[in-house]
Amino acid sequence: MTRVNVDAIGATIKNIQGEAEVVLLVSMGSYVAFQDVIADIKARTDAEAVQVGSVVQRAVHLERQRDITVDPAYGIEQLETIAWTSISTAKSNPAPGLRTPHGLRDVLARWSAQEEETRDEDLFPIVYSDNVFVRLLDAFESLAVVSSESMQHQNFAEVARTFALMFDRLPEDQQRRAEDLILRILSALGEHVLTAELNTALSALIGTLTASARFETAAVVRAAQEALELSVGKLNSRSTRVPNKG
């Protein structure tokens, strides 16, 4: 899906003078295959539902190529692809890889600071799930994963640093997603050497989580950091760097 004409759908619902609601099941950039359901239509009568449904079908534009000018998630995906290739052993080039989380952190900061003001007259009975913020957090998760393949500790540290700096500035629902993300990427931490940079980033993340009263998550991160600290001063391989506690 590359575009959706919300005004056309809203005008149709207003014109039928009935109670109707459109729940869009696809987001900008979503892949839609033949006969996929793109929306649920709720109306008082079948005739009104068919009328609204025909407008929705025309209002949702499907194209073969995503449009970065109206699809920010596509831009995030492109940056993630560049970083993945650079960070992985395909190129093993940490410089471009680091620039991506730097840029994505700036986007995260700007979007977190935005406050939307919507007037009642601008509201339509249309439900749309915007996945772009979630897609942005997913990109950080992917970069942490690929850093474990190439042992680029700098990039894992940058992901940890991002959430140390940004966690308390995220909306509440995105804080929950960030917590889940942090817990999931910890399993990749054992592939890394606990460099001073990585250690500092993890300590900062623990401090932020503690200050935000996310004590359980902070404790889990601290436990992972302590397990990796046991490798300092010892000769280890990837398989033996973090002790197996059974």
The proportion of the chain whose per-residue pLDDT surpasses 90, expressed as a percent, equals 68
pLDDT averaged over every residue in the chain: 90
Q: pLDDT per residue over 132-167, tens digit each?
A: 999 999 999 999 999 998 889 999 999 999 999 999
pLDDT at 118 > cutoff 60: no
pLDDT score of 246: 46
CA distance 120 to 53: 24
Token pair of 185, please?
């990427």
Residue 211 Cα distances to 1, 60, 224, angstroms: 41, 44, 19
CA distance 202 to 73: 28
* Closest to 130 (Cα-Cα) out of 73, 56, 68: 73
CA distance 82 to 146: 12
Indicate the pLDDT class of residue 204, thresholds 50, 70 and 90. Answer: very high
Indicate the pLDDT class of residue 98, thresholds 50, 70 and 90. Answer: confident
